[in-house]
Amino acid sequence: MWVEPLTPTLGAVIHGIELAHADSAAIGIVREALLTHKVVFFRDQNLDDRAQRDFAACFGPLKRFPFGSPVDEAVPEVHAIVGGGERPKVGNADIWHSDATFLAAPPFGSVLRSVTLPSHGGDTLFADAAAAYDALSSRMQRMLDELTATHDFANSSAHRRPLHDEYPPVSHPVVRVHPDTGRRSLFVNRIFTSRIDQLTDRENEVLLPMLCDHIRSPDFQCRFTWHPGSVAFWDNRCTQHYAVADYREPRVMHRVVIDGTVPRAPTS
List all residues 6 or more positions away from 216 whose beta carbon is below 8 Å from its beta carbon: 96, 127, 240, 242
Q: Is 97 a catalytic residue?
A: yes
Task: Return the ∠ at Cα 169 (arms to 165 and 170), rounded to 5°.
Answer: 135
Q: Measuring CA to CA, how many Å separate 84 from each of 119, 126, 246, 251?
A: 11, 21, 9, 6
Q: Which of 79, 195, 216, 255 is catalytic?
A: 255
Among 53, 97, 178, 195, which one carries the catalytic annotation?
Answer: 97
**120 noted as active-site residue:** no
Decide if 195 is catalytic: no
Residues 6+ apart with CB under 8 A from 4: 12, 13, 14, 15
Marked catalytic residue, from 160, 172, 241, 251: 241
Distance CA 115, CA 129 (A): 28
The residue annotated as part of the active site, out of 99, 128, 152, 235, is 99
Q: Three-state DSSP class for 126?
A: strand
Give dist(CA 12, CA 3) in Å, integer. Answer: 6
CB neighbours of residue 213 within 10 Å:
11
Q: Is 164 a residue of the active site? A: no
Catalytic positions, written as ranges: 97, 99, 241, 255
